Structure 1
Amino acid sequence: MTVGLTADRKGAPDSETLRNALRRWEYNKNRREADRPAEVAAALNWVRKTSVPLADLAEFEGITMALGACARKLDGTAAAPSYYTRRRRVLYNVLKYAVQRKRLAVNPIDGLDWKPTEDDEVREEVDPAVVPSPRQMTELLTAVSYAGPRRGPRMVAFFACVYYAMMRPGEVVSLRESDCKLPATGWGRLTLAGSKPSVGTEWTDSGEYHDDRGLKGRHRKAKRPVPIPPDLVRILRGHIDRYGVGSDGRLFRTERGGVLLPSGYGRTWHKARTLALAPAEEASGLARRPYDLRHAGVSLRLNAGVPPTQVAEWAGHSVEVLLKIYAKVIAGQDHLWEGRIDDALGG
């Protein structure tokens, strides 16, 4: 967004150098005062000279330009609503700080009735075409076990959690044995209490690649219970029997006991898709990302007729967000509701 608030692109450094200078130096408090390479110093000097004055953001044209920048990705296309919301929140807090420092009289976003233009309109809907069916999911999870003789079998339960429990990958990385109720028969329960998202060593206080956080969108000590079907109970029991748990109780680690990285489980998933899918399916967007398995789990419950309020609670969404993201999935349920209405009418 900083680059989007420059008055003149004349003399601008190349995009990669500029964003590297901002992200790795200016925005990183641990390196902000360190000696900088000449090209980094030059790029930051250009930003300081060409950035629009803060006072411009108090005007309608200035603040809408800033919000428009929040609504676009690097390639100029519309950002997802969640991405836009995060950036707008950051911008709001920056302006709030400016008010506290008496650099602005009021926060210009307060009371502003502004929505992205058609070009900037933010969209985030799950395309049903990327959501694997239950049959395809069974085949994909089987393929994971063959995606590398040592890593593949260890990762089956990981991807099964994303699908059957609708978990975010960072939540699966953080899952501990004490979070799991896994009876010998029937349904089980996971009580999710945290997440270990991958943020990079430069952005954590500990210097670790992962950050220990609470559940997304909830206070730090909140927990989210999720009922899990017998298939996942069986898979998790088998995983624990075969691989045990880490010294901290976590179920999923690397072979050397380290924290799983997106690059590692991403490669495993890529191999599994190649093994499980037909060439046309692999070339499509079907289950392209591990996160698409979470979409599949949510879609499965919605298509089974579970009320959206309940699905949202299990998945860790607000109802509003769930209805927006899965609008096309819900819209495809007409035949289900028509049949139930027929039954109610005695037809």
Structure 2
Amino acid sequence: MTDRLPRRAEPIDKVTLKSGAVRYRFRIDLGVKADGSRDRRFFTYRSYKEARAEFRRISTEVAAGTHVNRGRLTVAEHLEDWLAGKRDIRPNTLRNYRDAAKPILRDLGQLALQQLTKAHIDRFLTSLRRRDGKPYAPETIRLTLSVLKQVTKDAKRQGLIARDPAEFVQAPIPAHGHRTAVWTRQEANQFRNHVRGDRLYALWLLTLCGLRRSEVLGLRWVDVNFQSETIVVRQARVEVTASFIDVQPPKTTRGLRTLPITGEVSAALQALHRIQSSEHIEFGGGSLNESALIATEPDGRPILPRTYTDRFRRAAKNAGVPVITLRNVRHTSVSVMLDAGIPPTTVAAWHGHDPRMTVSVYGRTYDDSLRIAGASMFQSVEEPDDSALG
């Protein structure tokens, strides 16, 4: 049974259900459907106060063009749709997105997308834990939040939600005094001396020079010119999954670059070329194909990215230097060059970076340079010779 309430600004009806329960209902025009007909819908609430507030809210949103119809789409469903639409990115980037999305799917996936709030997200980020129970690193949390923000922004853009709940969520900042772990020049040379004579010595030198792991593993002999002592970075080998190694060109034009190699690096590469030529014949492959990869096992199989990382860690441990990541060896290269006074534009060109990123993200000033900089303010200045002034 429906009782029309006394006429007010809001056309809300009192409805008595068969069970005797009382509800309050209104009907409102939400616009036009896809077929051109009017989209008029009923909304029902338990109290008149709630119905009145919702009528005003929905009416205001409809007038402003921001109203979103109620839907049952979950966070997980929209996240999967968003990932499926990422067709213009590299496979390894998509893998990184999927990895970052795992805790989102686990902890927020069952929530209705329209019910997701900033409070949900704040609690989610605060409670993030690794499998061993330790909190996620701030960098990992920032990556996860970055993916979630892209997902909610996409939902708002599609009109699936009225407001973006992640828009004003703040990412955690690193602890005060946090510094990226890099080697000193002495530690880099200690590692270099330890791996001298290793079959992969040339590759370790290229890593010390700041090439990415993917770039070292993507180099071919055809990319090396022993006469001009240069190498050309043309491609990268990236491990997308345990069974899929993707070969791809550099992400940007900066990444495609020709680099001069020192006499030591050139000599190490020539030595590796001779070793591989002998190995190729020994394993029945005949002459070494110049289009072959440089980073190979003795039987000619390409070295897997994870294998290269494992061998690097063992070598660093045996060399008695801090076991840092290969990415941080690249940081070391940038920092050493900047500390040596090489212009940031040159350092950026060597590493395939934007110069601004080279200084703001990768550069580190060593303590010795800071001491020299501070002492320079109080160095004695030779007094002018008054007699020479005429």
Do these two structures clear the TM 0.5 threshold for a shared fold by scoring above it?
Answer: yes
Cα 1:342–1:198 shift into 2, 3 Å: farther
Corresponding residue number in structure 2 for 1:309: 345
Partners of 2:178 and 2:193 lie apart in 1 by: 28
Counterparts of 1:97-136 in structure 2, within 5 Å, are 97-99=154-156, 101-105=158-162, 107-109=164-166, 112=168, 114-117=169-172, 125-128=179-182, 133-136=187-190
TM-score (normalised: structure 1): 0.61
1:52 matched to 2:129? The reply is no
Corresponding residue number in structure 2 for 1:229: 262
Q: Is the 8 A contact 1:173 1:250 kept in 2?
A: yes
Matched residue type, 1:137 = F
CA offset at residue 196 of structure 1?
0.9
Q: Is the 8 A contact 2:276 2:298 kept in 1?
A: no
Q: Is the 8 A contact 2:130 2:136 kept in 1?
A: yes
CA offset at residue 100 of structure 1?
5.1
CA offset at residue 228 of structure 1?
2.8
Of residues 187, 205, 209, the one that matches 2:244 is 209
Partners of 2:107 and 2:327 lie apart in 1 by: 38
Corresponding residue number in structure 2 for 1:175: 219
Q: Is the 8 A contact 1:177 1:250 kept in 2?
A: yes
Cα 1:333–1:292 shift into 2, 3 Å: same
User: Greater strand percent: which structure?
Assistant: 2
Partners of 2:106 and 2:130 lie apart in 1 by: 19
Secondary structure class of the residue paired with 1:190: strand
CA offset at residue 271 of structure 1?
4.4
Corresponding residue number in structure 2 for 1:329: 365
Partners of 1:173 and 1:261 lie apart in 2 by: 8
Partners of 1:255 and 1:48 lie apart in 2 by: 46
Q: Is the 8 A contact 2:293 2:302 kept in 1?
A: no
Corresponding residue number in structure 2 for 1:189: 230
Secondary structure class of the residue paired with 1:210: strand
5+ residue gaps, structure 2 = 1-79, 85-102, 278-287, 384-390
CA offset at residue 171 of structure 1?
1.0
Partners of 2:378 and 2:273 lie apart in 1 by: 47
Partners of 1:104 and 1:248 lie apart in 2 by: 52
Q: Is the 8 A contact 1:124 1:325 kept in 2?
A: no
1:243 matched to 2:276? The reply is yes
Matched residue type, 1:179 = D
Corresponding residue number in structure 2 for 1:10: none
Of residues 269, 276, 287, the one that matches 2:319 is 276
Of residues 291, 296, 312, the one that matches 1:253 is 296
Cα 1:301–1:27 shift into 2, 3 Å: same
5+ residue gaps, structure 1 = 1-24, 30-43, 146-151, 202-207
Partners of 2:172 and 2:142 lie apart in 1 by: 15
How many residues are aligned here? 273
Cα 1:101–1:330 shift into 2, 3 Å: same
CA offset at residue 326 of structure 1?
4.3
Cα 1:54–1:171 shift into 2, 3 Å: same
Matched residue type, 1:252 = A
TM-score (normalised: structure 2): 0.55
| CA deviation map 1:239-281 (0-9, x unaligned) | 223314557432111223222124433443344345433xxx5
Partners of 1:329 and 1:229 lie apart in 2 by: 25
CA offset at residue 338 of structure 1?
6.2
| CA deviation map 1:56-105 (0-9, x unaligned) | 44x433454566689x866314333xx55544443233234424543224
| CA deviation map 1:96-147 (0-9, x unaligned) | 442454322454555x4x53346x76997323457753531331222xx3xx
Secondary structure class of the residue paired with 1:178: helix
Partners of 2:326 and 2:153 lie apart in 1 by: 37
